[in-house]
Structure 1
Amino acid sequence: MNIASPGRRRDIVILGLSLSSSWGNGHATTFRALIKGLSAEGHRVLFLERDTPWYAPHRDLPAPDFCELVLYDDMGAMLAEYGDRLRAADSVMVGSYVPDGIALIDRLAGMGLRQLTFYDIDTPVTMQALDDGTCEYLAPRQIPLFDIYFSFSGGEVLTHLRDVRGARRAEALYCSVDDALYPALDLPKRWDFGYLGTYSPDRQPTLDALLLEPARLLPNMRFVVAGPQYPDDIDWPANVDRIEHLPPADHPAFYNAQRFTLNVTRAAMRRMGWSPSVRLFEAGSCGVPVISDDWPGLDELFADGTAIAIARDTGDVVRALQGADAAQSRRLGQAARQVVLAGHTGRARAREMIGAIEAAPVEP
């Protein structure tokens, strides 16, 4: 095998869960920032997305101008039509949660590709599902097939992927933000504290403790939760506004209308750590001060008390909301924005990805 020559334009094909619709998933915004960054760096990307009925009514980016997007109905027909393009590509990436992912990976692995990688945007969840035998998009035997296993999570999970799961190379590729789309805006504050995220059973206890309970204790403050799929039986306090779905174009105004915003991490990701969510970088890019649940590695990305406020219980949130004046909040948000712009934009992440694929052996 040869080592790819650095510095030239790369032809990349990505098969991911969704680029066209952000409804109920964080994959779309993660891919959008990354691919826009790749385009800005001069690389060409084809994104192949299964045309699914649940995303079809909610496509907020049906025709991106930074890559070629193709929706397909049948995997076999897609591989036949784009087989030559896949084989000619410098690198082919499969994302987590792709429909029929196990069969797709097997087919791709048998095509003689120059380089095959995996981007796990859900790494701790994937590891748990592999252990439970419930993972529908990746089989344990397939991990050694990839030239690079890109992981949404860093830290100890990378060692786990190499030493326990048999990954040839495991590289952290955190999510990122398109900073041009998430500016700091001088808007009136409609809410003291808010949260943006799809309902998840394992996130809900943290949301209860860090937002709903503070709302009950602070009836004179205004709160908001935006995101789909929340059950009807949740007891929302009267001072908590609900927004069912908020498309990405409306995210900056939403964040900037909050005095503080909440980051909540899924339980499996919190246990393994080093799993910053895309919402964390989006809010940071907007210069909005973030209150986050605690997990290993967070303070290595954002310094506690300087660029983020870490909350371990309801009391921490109440004290933060009651204790911070406007100047303190502004300093916290500005520090977070500096961290994001320095290393967590889509273009910065694209450079990391290209550096990794250039360093990996590829077929001539």
Structure 2
Amino acid sequence: MKIAFYGSSLLSSYWNGAATYYRGILRALGERGYDITFYEPDAFDRQQHRDIDPPEYAKVVVYPATVDAMRGVLAEAGAADIVVKANGVGVFDAELLQGVIANARPDALKIFWDVDAAATLDEMRADADHPVRAALPGLDMVLTYGGGAPVVDAYTGFGAKDCVPVYNALDPQTHHPVDPDPRFACDLAFLGNRLPDREARVEEFFLRPAALLPEQQFLIGGNGWETKAMPGNVRHRGHVFTAEHNAFNCTPRAVLNVARDSMAHIGFSPATRVFEAAGAAACLITDAWEGIELFLKPDEEVLVARDGQDVADHLSALTTERAAAIGQAALKRVLAEHTYDLRGEQVDALFKVHAAREVTPA
């Protein structure tokens, strides 16, 4: 079956945290025989910061961020059996969603794939004319990369025909243990872009522990932090390319996950970084959110912190030996239960169920 996928970027993770999620899911579907075309705009300097070359599992069409170019790629949706509009493209999001529905064949499976469901739902609650609310009657399915039952209930309450979480996971071909890299040597590292709904939590869970532990070394990677005031024991690396993620995760004594406000509030939303770190056998400290135990077992496979003091306490007590044991336990768990191959199997089954419904006489 042919898939036309309209998203932010498959080729670049620059200001695009969903990149590794797209890559993992689409690689798994490509290996199951799907013919995939990914459409991404040339926007936000992403093409100047590519992490990968166009992959074998998908054709990538990069189009100028203009109205005419957008209309041109939308016209190609009519050739697909499955059309997908992901949120957070950054340009023409509403027009792309409307266009996917308008240009798809009547028998095509039409999907909105929400990689930031908690935030999208907050917007929908505040705006009766929100583009996603308006599009739901024309969609067959909403897929999300997290949120659990609260997100499913909210989407179906807004009128979605079906809503299924397809959680982040590990691609073992991309994220795995490597040798340490002295560029990333520290006691605690955090990787994430500076975003308004994350910054206060980074201040609490990362910068506060750094101030509490002046004798320890901290490292922050990601875009936007260069103008942020930080304690003297914090180093800033800027953008960290996907190819560097393994060394970034393997080298520090521990790495930190900090959820965005909306994801922490709704729970059941493990970030991609959780699985990337676990896949590299890193000792992960995460801020507390409901549902973590569905993915990693607290105190054995992950350390959970309620606030910055907890992070500092974990670091003060964490030996090199215990950090290694936690990392190895996390790696074993994610390889068994949380790989993109398993997520691809889930999505493939969803697609096949829908296809069977379409050919079954009423």
Query: What are the within-5 Å matches in structure 2 for residues 50-61 of structure 1?
Result: 50-61=41-52
Name the one with the larger helix percent: 2
TM-score by length of 2: 0.91
**Residue 277 of structure 1, CA deviation:** 0.4
Q: Distance in 2 between matches of 1:299 and 1:53?
A: 36
Determine if the alignment matches structure 1 residue 204 to structure 2 residue 199.
yes
Structure 2 residue aligned with 1:213: 208
Q: Distance in 2 between matches of 1:312 and 1:195?
A: 17
Q: Distance in 2 between matches of 1:303 and 1:94?
A: 34
Local SS of the residue matching 1:13: strand
Structure 1 residue aligned with 2:63: 72
Q: Deviations over 1:105-129 (max 9, x none)?
A: 2222223241111110000011112
Bigger relative contact order, structure 1 or 2 (CA pairs below 8 A, ≥6 apart): 1
Structure 2 residue aligned with 1:294: 288
Distance 1:135 1:55, change over 3 A: farther
Structure 1 residue aligned with 2:347: 353
Determine if the alignment matches structure 1 residue 38 to structure 2 residue 29.
yes
Q: Distance in 2 between matches of 1:205 and 1:81?
A: 39
Q: Distance in 1 between matches of 2:151 and 2:6?
A: 23
The CA RMSD measured in Å over matched residues stands at: 2.1
**Residue 347 of structure 1, CA deviation:** 1.7
Structure 2 residue aligned with 1:5: none
Q: Deviations over 1:101-159 (max 9, x none)?
A: 222222222232411111100000111122233998x4312123221100122231111
Q: Distance in 1 between matches of 2:56 and 2:277?
A: 24
Distance 1:253 1:357, change over 3 A: same
Query: What are the within-5 Å matches in structure 2 for residues 181-200 of structure 1?
Result: 181-187=174-180, 190-200=185-195
**Residue 61 of structure 1, CA deviation:** 2.4
Distance 1:82 1:119, change over 3 A: closer
1:21–1:61 Cα contact (<8 Å) kept: yes
Determine if the alignment matches structure 1 residue 337 to structure 2 residue 328.
no
**Residue 295 of structure 1, CA deviation:** 1.1
Q: Distance in 2 between matches of 1:53 and 1:211?
A: 27
**Residue 207 of structure 1, CA deviation:** 1.4
2:226–2:238 Cα contact (<8 Å) kept: no
Determine if the alignment matches structure 1 residue 319 to structure 2 residue 319.
no
**Residue 255 of structure 1, CA deviation:** 0.7
Q: Distance in 1 between matches of 2:215 and 2:43?
A: 43
Higher mean alpha-carbon deviation, 313-322 vs 97-106, is at 97-106
Q: Distance in 2 between matches of 1:16 and 1:188?
A: 33
Determine if the alignment matches structure 1 residue 102 to structure 2 residue 94.
yes
Structure 2 residue aligned with 1:23: 14
2:181–2:247 Cα contact (<8 Å) kept: no
2:285–2:305 Cα contact (<8 Å) kept: yes
**Residue 193 of structure 1, CA deviation:** 0.5
**Residue 76 of structure 1, CA deviation:** 4.9
Q: Distance in 1 between matches of 2:19 and 2:81?
A: 23
Structure 1 residue aligned with 2:234: 240
- Which residues of structure 2 form unaligned runs of 5+? none
